[in-house]
Amino acid sequence: MREGARLRLDYGAPSLWRVDRTIEEIRREGTPYAAVEGVLRGFGAYAGEVIVRQTGAEWCATGGAYWISTPDGRLWDPIDEARRCFTGQGSLRLLCQDATAARG
């Protein structure tokens, strides 16, 4: 994805702003969901890994779904959040911000 979209993804929280923006651009182009489902899953997984690295969280899987469990016991679903971004109702950057703030 980095090559095709020319995104600079360094696993830092600020890179999620670029991911959100890219998803928004894809949505504005009118791309059908089925055509970008795999890309959105990848963006969600990337966001999840950013959260893991920022918070010390762990990946967990239940029933074929993947979640992030932060040390405070909260569960986060970055893959679903990427889907929500595509509908204009989510933000991977804000999800990371919330998960990071939950460390306190």
Tens of pLDDT along 60-101?
998 888 999 999 999 999 999 999 999 999 999 999 999 998
pLDDT of residue 3: 46
Distance between CA atoms of 10 and 12, rounded to whole angstroms? 5
Q: What is the mean pLDDT of the chain?
A: 91
pLDDT of residue 43: 96
pLDDT of residue 41: 96
pTM of the model: 0.90
Mean pLDDT of 12-32: 95
Distance between CA atoms of 53 and 30, rounded to whole angstroms? 33
Closest CA to 92 of 58, 36, 56, 46: 46
